[in-house]
Structure 1
Amino acid sequence: MKISNKLLLLCIFTLVFIKVIFYYLMKNDYLSLGLGGGNDSDYYHDYTLGYVDIAVNIWPVILRFLNDLDLYSRDGISYLFLFINLFIIPILVARLSGLNFKKNQKYYLYSVLLCLIYPTLFFYTFDIYRDVFMVLSFLVGCLIVKKSVNSNNFIVFSFFYILAILIGLFLLALRPYLGYAFLLALVLWKIKLTKKRIFLFAILYFFTLFIANYLGFFERITDYREIFEEDMQGGSNLGLDFSNAMLFLPNFILSTLGQLFGLYLVNPFAVLLFVIETIPVLFMLFYVLKNIKYADGFIRFLIIFFVLYASVWLIGNDNLGTAVRLRLYNYLGVYICFFYILRLKRLSIDLTHNLVPTKRG
């Protein structure tokens, strides 16, 4: 069944309206909703006002800088995050996908609608969590990478490549393994990907993970994972033990299935997120891998980032509430790859159709 553009627009406007109403009810304590992954907004606020002097990342430093300029408002930043979530992020995702509202209107509207439906990021607009800011920084970084790797001019390529490195360093200050994955993908983006190569890379990938873990390269990450066992006991923990080197790969696969793909369905909320977030991503990921021949430098960058970033947090995290925050960048990367390849494939089909001569009766 085909959905008209007018109906898509109506769905978008309805979603925006519902989110604004829901936001108002939440901010005025008419509704209460627990957010997974810990409430760190109070710490950020205390650091901003000078009650705490230890900064765990650059986000509270930015907030204190704004406060020193008399530009800080806890509610004001929350309102700004709502605006970014409703308008800026969907537009950025559509633009990164190469979609144009006039030329690819239906795909464009589907992309925007998908971003608006995504619930997790919206939950972190209610306070001064760093998630919305990090997603915005990541998408801006991806936009710069796209301008760099898709440029045929060496000067333009170099300028935006250096700028992308700076963004990567900034992401490193926001969340170390996010920045690491971004920077390393920026180095490896020229690796050609085919279906056969992906299969071979997958074997090499798991073998490398096993050897790296056996040699102790993941010791700091697995030590961090133990924090969840000590401080976050509850039904939202997977309880996987990475201390046994021989069971590392089976546990890593279980962590991937449970956290990245949300198959650890411990409560109704987890089921809801699986239906709304994970099922579309699984479909899109399959489509991307099936049509990997359309991948250019930018898509290769996103796929490599997807693997590198997930590799770290799937080992270091054991809590499902935190997982829905961490996988944001993986899911958004899949969104972009899907619509990007969908557009290129549609363009290729149309071009082939126009080149085929028609028979005249």
Structure 2
Amino acid sequence: MIYVLLLAIIVFFKVLFFAFYVFNPQSFFRGGNDADYYDSYARGANYPTSSIWPDFLRALNELGLYSREGVSFVMMLLGVIAIPLLVTRLSMLRGPIANNRVCMIAAIVVSFYPTLFYYALDIYRDVLMVFLFLVGLVGIKAFIEARSAAGFLGSTLMVLVVAVVLFSFRGYLGFAFLLAFVCFRFVKFSKFSLMGYVVPMLIGLNVLFAAGVLKPVLNYRSLFNDVQSATNLGIQFESVSRFIPDFMNSLLSQLFGFFYPNLSSVVAFVLESVPFCLGLFFLVRNRRFSNSLVDFVVVFSIVYSIIWLLGNDNLGTAMRLRMYSYIGVLIACAIVYQRKAYFFKVSTPQPVAVNSDLLGR
């Protein structure tokens, strides 16, 4: 009950903050951001688009259903209420393994995710995409647990629809989700090893780089060279011999957050990257307690992270892109913790109550 109360208090203060923000928009973040671009496009501005989101907002406007505040309110509800509830749902296990306290703690942890809350304050697409990703995970969980043809087909259709929608928002996100769905049955995270997976993966990426297969992704990365920003990393991927060191630099700087160009990056490292690093360490160390949903999360995170780590060179953008892996690892940790706790509970001999009269006086 205490965790439900704490979550309710967090929700209350977030809604209060959002209300103050809506009535005092200039006090915080507006001005020259993606939300301003989406709002202008929705109202008729002629800009190029790279996803379905601005076109969706324009369609709402043409139907007379659009307002920036109204859409922001929906995003806030998704980020503050729906996403924590979905994290709780996805963390839950069946039967005696289930531990509701752990699931609620997972919801509270994601409620303290600052980047997620930031993008829930306006008409950014990121919160909706995280929500859709978690809905997709619900479909994956249903697919894994399906015991009938109808359940199998229904969950498969749900996963495919979510993958297509994610692709329309961000191509490589939908691609990674679909590829993970195809491949996760063949990967067992419980048998994960450095020499068996990580080293061959790095060598394979280096070969693909040398063969020019990664050129389209790296060409996109080069666009960051034209933007002067203190949060750009300046990693170029210019030679075969430097590819693996450059990739590891991108991994440590962007996914793990070991790059501090300003104060906000330090705050993000402490509040986001440190918990992620601790969670990932726990997950790898206790991987023998993973299940099929954890296998999917791991496969998806690897595929998706490889793509954006190669294509992105800006820490601010990285904070948005890594939300799926961060939240996925949180859910995986909650699952592994419950399975581990249950294993030790049933494998530890329980004390037997003995009648004191039989022991003598």
Q: Which residue of 1 aligns with 2:331?
A: 336
**Aligned with residue 264 of structure 1, among 255, 259, 264:** 259
Q: Which residue of 2 aligns with 1:61?
A: 55
Amino acid of the structure 2 residue aligned with 1:77? V
Q: Distance in 1 between matches of 2:18 and 2:52?
A: 27
Question: Aligned pair in 2 of structure 1 residues 124, 196: CA closer, same or farther (>3 Å)?
Answer: closer
The 10-residue stretch of structure 1 (263-272 or 38-47) with the greater mean CA deviation from structure 2:
38-47
Asked whether the 8 Å contact 1:185–1:305 carries over to 2, the reply is yes
Amino acid of the structure 2 residue aligned with 1:95? R
Q: Distance in 2 between matches of 1:85 and 1:93?
A: 11
**Aligned with residue 36 of structure 2, among 42, 47, 59:** 42
Q: Which residue of 2 aligns with 1:283?
A: 278
| Higher RCO structure, 1 or 2 (CA under 8 Å, sep 6+) | 1
**Aligned with residue 199 of structure 2, among 200, 203, 215:** 203
SS of aligned partner of 1:240: coil
Count of residue pairs brought into register by the alignment = 351
Question: Aligned pair in 2 of structure 1 residues 196, 325: CA closer, same or farther (>3 Å)?
Answer: closer
Asked whether the 8 Å contact 1:195–1:289 carries over to 2, the reply is no
Offset from partner CA, 1:228-283 (integer Å, 9 cap, x none): 1112x232111111122221110110011000010102222111111111111111
**Aligned with residue 92 of structure 2, among 80, 98, 103:** 98
Offset from partner CA, 1:168-188 (integer Å, 9 cap, x none): 111111101101110000011
- Using the TM superposition, give the Cα deviation of residue 298 of structure 1 relative to its aligned residue in structure 2, in angstroms: 1.3
Question: Aligned pair in 2 of structure 1 residues 287, 357: CA closer, same or farther (>3 Å)?
Answer: same
- Using the TM superposition, give the Cα deviation of residue 167 of structure 1 relative to its aligned residue in structure 2, in angstroms: 1.1
Residue 216, structure 1, aligned to residue 218, structure 2 = no
Q: Which runs of 5+ in 2 are unaligned?
A: none
Q: Which residue of 2 aligns with 1:306?
A: 301
Question: Aligned pair in 2 of structure 1 residues 70, 29: CA closer, same or farther (>3 Å)?
Answer: closer
The 10-residue stretch of structure 1 (328-337 or 184-193) with the greater mean CA deviation from structure 2:
184-193
Residue 228, structure 1, aligned to residue 243, structure 2 = no
- Using the TM superposition, give the Cα deviation of residue 18 of structure 1 relative to its aligned residue in structure 2, in angstroms: 3.3
Asked whether the 8 Å contact 2:11–2:81 carries over to 1, the reply is no
- Using the TM superposition, give the Cα deviation of residue 152 of structure 1 relative to its aligned residue in structure 2, in angstroms: 3.2
- Using the TM superposition, give the Cα deviation of residue 65 of structure 1 relative to its aligned residue in structure 2, in angstroms: 2.7
Q: Distance in 2 between matches of 1:118 and 1:19?
A: 12
Asked whether the 8 Å contact 2:166–2:174 carries over to 1, the reply is yes
Amino acid of the structure 2 residue aligned with 1:236? T
Residue 255, structure 1, aligned to residue 250, structure 2 = yes
Aligned-pair Cα RMSD in Å: 2.3
Asked whether the 8 Å contact 1:47–1:54 carries over to 2, the reply is no
Question: Aligned pair in 2 of structure 1 residues 258, 350: CA closer, same or farther (>3 Å)?
Answer: same
Amino acid of the structure 1 residue aligned with 2:230? G
Amino acid of the structure 2 residue aligned with 1:141? G
Offset from partner CA, 1:339-361 (integer Å, 9 cap, x none): 011122222233334x7573746
The 10-residue stretch of structure 1 (118-127 or 342-351) with the greater mean CA deviation from structure 2:
342-351
Offset from partner CA, 1:9-60 (integer Å, 9 cap, x none): 554344334323332343313632479xx72222322332332264321112
**Aligned with residue 127 of structure 2, among 129, 132, 139:** 132
Asked whether the 8 Å contact 1:238–1:319 carries over to 2, the reply is yes
- Using the TM superposition, give the Cα deviation of residue 125 of structure 1 relative to its aligned residue in structure 2, in angstroms: 1.9
Q: Give the TM-score taking structure 2 as reference length.
A: 0.90
- Using the TM superposition, give the Cα deviation of residue 105 of structure 1 relative to its aligned residue in structure 2, in angstroms: 3.6
Q: Distance in 2 between matches of 1:29 and 1:63?
A: 20
Offset from partner CA, 1:134-173 (integer Å, 9 cap, x none): 1111110110111002223344223211321121111111
Q: Which runs of 5+ in 1 are unaligned?
A: none
Q: Which residue of 2 aligns with 1:31?
A: 27
Question: Aligned pair in 2 of structure 1 residues 185, 359: CA closer, same or farther (>3 Å)?
Answer: same
Q: Distance in 2 between matches of 1:58 and 1:154?
A: 33
SS of aligned partner of 1:235: coil
- Using the TM superposition, give the Cα deviation of residue 207 of structure 1 relative to its aligned residue in structure 2, in angstroms: 0.8
Q: Which residue of 2 aligns with 1:349?
A: 344
Asked whether the 8 Å contact 1:150–1:298 carries over to 2, the reply is no
Q: Distance in 2 between matches of 1:330 and 1:177?
A: 14
SS of aligned partner of 2:189: coil
Superposed counterparts of 1:102-117, under 5 Å: 104-117=99-112
Q: Distance in 1 between matches of 2:45 and 2:235?
A: 37
Asked whether the 8 Å contact 1:150–1:297 carries over to 2, the reply is no
- Using the TM superposition, give the Cα deviation of residue 123 of structure 1 relative to its aligned residue in structure 2, in angstroms: 0.8
Residue 177, structure 1, aligned to residue 172, structure 2 = yes
